[in-house]
């Protein structure tokens, strides 16, 4: 890992030296982030519960710290059990550096490219990243969501935060922005997921492999979010369909939902209940596939590996999980292809956002969403 990282750093230094004097095109990798160490769990949860774009709470400034504090011991234990923290920063940096290096070759017109990380709930957050971009003299940036499928609660929250920080002056107003807002059916992403499923399928005996049920599992959404017209459920289903087409529909499959929090109604069927149901139906082989998050986190390493898979085995199911994309070279190449396609289209159309990003959820009542869309449609800055 250290060796690979050094190679990336050397190649980045070389790339920046080749383009000496030219400010980099920034590719800002937006995601939620996770606590790198167990003691950072509380602040992560506090920032998460303070996010009104994700969870609007009554008296949020006061209720969020209270809920975060109450929830911290349980979540700290989960991060302890998966090895002491979230690997998301390490993987996002690795993915970003690999992507930027490829981009210099694929789209030399906008080289040098430099990847930045902007997390929502842990460092580096938008303000810190913006400071780094200013020091590098960035004038052109792409806000590249690292959630493959769009939800107002994830990508929408990151874009609202970018808008707020631009309005408060924390993000330089000179920067020309464009947005990659979703890429859940991009062939490179689909290929990377499909290859990881094939690797998991290979763990079954040749006789039983074709009977294995492929169980795609994604973080659920509260029904209140689904019912206001959030596109996430549809887009996750589109990813699943594209992956299954690539796998020639050789196995039966279902899409189920995990990680519900709190007492309200969430999108189902729940992953745990689905595994129990499959056991009841006499299914003996299952591959669980994380489809809505690109690196490992507590939902893969804790919920799936330590809870669901264990329980399924107790019910007599042989279960394997498809790896998260993490450091997959196929996935890193996909990120570079997605960014290249975006840069090419932008150079021709000068359109900073997709048509789809322009439409608010029909039931959206969050005024910031409209302001953010108006600001981004003008490329930010003005
Ligand atoms: C695409 C992925 C995700 C969507 C959509 C999503 C929506 C969503 N989440 C909450 C509440 C919580 N999520 C929490 C953790 C968490 N969420 C995601 C991804 C999505 N969330 C991940 C990857 C993680 C774990 C991060 C890690 O490092 O492992 C948490 C905190 C954990 C807990 O307390 O259980 C909460 C709370 C809502 C309300 C929501 C949609 C509105
Ligand atoms: Fe979540
Ligand atoms: Fe909205």
Ligand 1 atom nearest the C-alpha of 302 is 29
Of 177, 182, 140, the C-alpha closest to 162 is 177
85: left (phi over 0), alpha (psi -120 to 50) or beta: left
Looking at residue 18, what is its pLDDT?
Answer: 60
Mutate-to-test residue for ligand 1 from 31, 261, 289, highest number of ligand atoms within 8 A of CB: 261
Looking at residue 302, what is its pLDDT?
Answer: 87
Ligand 1 atom nearest the C-alpha of 49 is 37
Does 40 sit in the ligand 1 pocket, CB within 6 Å? no
Ligand 1 atom nearest the C-alpha of 297 is 29
Alpha carbons 228 and 245: distance in angstroms, whole number = 30
Q: Show Cβ contacts of residue 242 under 8 Å, excluding neighbours closer than 6 positions.
A: 184, 185, 190
How far is the centre of ligand 1, averaged over its atoms, from the C-alpha of 207 (Å)?
38
Looking at residue 16, what is its pLDDT?
Answer: 54
Does 152 sit in the ligand 1 pocket, CB within 6 Å? no
Residues of the chain with pLDDT under 70: 1-18, 20, 381-382
Q: Which two tokens stand for residue 50?
A: 């303070």
How far is the centre of ligand 1, averaged over its atoms, from the C-alpha of 81 (Å)?
18
Alpha carbons 208 and 213: distance in angstroms, whole number = 11
pLDDT digits (tens, 9 = 90+) for 36-66: 999 999 999 999 999 999 999 999 999 999 9
Looking at residue 327, what is its pLDDT?
Answer: 97
Domains, the chain, in order of start with CATH, read 2-183+329-377 (3.40.50.1400), 187-321 (3.40.50.1400)
Q: Which residue has the tokens 């995601």?
A: 31
Q: Which two tokens stand for residue 119?
A: 């997390």
Count other C-beta atoms under 10 Å from residue 110's C-beta.
21
Angle ∠(257,260,262) on CA atoms, nearest 5: 160
Looking at residue 4, what is its pLDDT?
Answer: 45
Contact 25, 111 (CB under 8 A): yes
Q: Which two tokens stand for residue 178?
A: 């464009």
pLDDT digits (tens, 9 = 90+) for 111-154: 999 999 999 999 999 999 999 999 999 999 999 999 999 999 99
φ, ψ at 141 (rounded to 5°): -140, 145
Q: Which residues are part of the catalytic machinery?
A: 186, 337
Contact 302, 339 (CB under 8 A): no
How far is the centre of ligand 1, averaged over its atoms, from the C-alpha of 73 (Å)?
17
Ligand 1 atom nearest the C-alpha of 292 is 1
329: left (phi over 0), alpha (psi -120 to 50) or beta: alpha
Q: Is the dihedral of CA 295, 300, 302, 306 positive or negative?
A: negative
Looking at residue 187, what is its pLDDT?
Answer: 98
Question: Nearest ligand, CA of residue 367?
Answer: 3
**DSSP tag of 60:** H
Q: In residues, how long is the chain?
A: 382
Looking at residue 19, what is its pLDDT?
Answer: 72
- What does pTM read for this prediction? 0.94
Looking at residue 228, what is its pLDDT?
Answer: 97
**DSSP tag of 350:** -
| DSSP 3-state percent helix, strand, coil across the chain (nearest 5) | 50, 15, 35
Q: Show Cβ contacts of residue 2 under 8 Å, excluding neighbours closer than 6 positions.
A: none
Nearest residue CA, atom 6 of ligand 1? 219
How far is the centre of ligand 3, averaged over its atoms, from the C-alpha of 228 (Å)?
9
């Amino acid at each position: 890992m250290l060796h690979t990282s050094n190679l990336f750093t050397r190649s980045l230094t070389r790339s920046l030296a080749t383009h000496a004097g030219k400010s980099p095109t920034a590719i800002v990798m937006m995601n939620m982030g996770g606590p790198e160490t167990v003691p950072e769990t509380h602040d992560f949860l506090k920032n998460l519960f303070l996010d009104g774009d994700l969870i609007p709470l009554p008296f949020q400034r006061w209720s969020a710290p209270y809920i975060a504090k109450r929830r911290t011991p349980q979540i700290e234990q989960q991060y302890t059990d998966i090895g002491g923290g979230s690997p998301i920063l390490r993987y996002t940096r690795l993915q970003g550096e690999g992507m930027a290096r490829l981009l210099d070759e694929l789209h030399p017109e906008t080289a040098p490219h430099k990847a930045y990380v902007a997390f929502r709930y842990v460092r580096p957050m938008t303000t810190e990243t913006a400071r780094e971009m200013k020091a590098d003299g960035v004038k052109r940036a792409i806000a590249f969501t690292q959630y493959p499928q769009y939800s107002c609660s994830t990508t929408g929250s990151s874009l609202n935060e970018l808008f707020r920080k631009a309005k408060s002056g924390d993000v330089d107003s000179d920067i020309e922005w464009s947005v990659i807002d979703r890429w859940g059916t991009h062939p490179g992403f689909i290929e990377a997921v499909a290859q990881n499923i094939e690797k998991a399928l290979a763990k079954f005996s040749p006789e039983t492999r074709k009977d294995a049920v492929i169980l795609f599992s994604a973080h659920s959404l509260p029904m209140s979010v689904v019912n206001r017209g959030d596109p996430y459920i549809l887009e996750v289903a589109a990813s699943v369909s594209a992956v299954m087409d690539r796998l020639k529909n050789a196995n039966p499959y279902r899409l189920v939902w995990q990680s519900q929090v709190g007492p309200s109604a969430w999108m189902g069927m729940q992953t745990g209940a689905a595994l129990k149901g499959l056991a009841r139906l006499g299914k003996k082989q299952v591959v669980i596939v994380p489809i809505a998050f690109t690196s490992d986190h507590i939902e893969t390493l804790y919920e799936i590996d330590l809870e669901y898979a264990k329980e399924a085995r107790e019910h007599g199911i042989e279960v394997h999980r498809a790896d998260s994309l993490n450091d997959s070279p196929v996935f890193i190449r996909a990120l570079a292809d997605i960014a290249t396609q975006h840069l090419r289209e932008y150079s021709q159309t000068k359109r900073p956002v997709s048509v789809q990003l322009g439409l608010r959820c029909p039931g959206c009542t969050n005024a910031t969403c409209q302001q953010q869309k108006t600001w981004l449609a003008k490329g930010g800055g003005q």
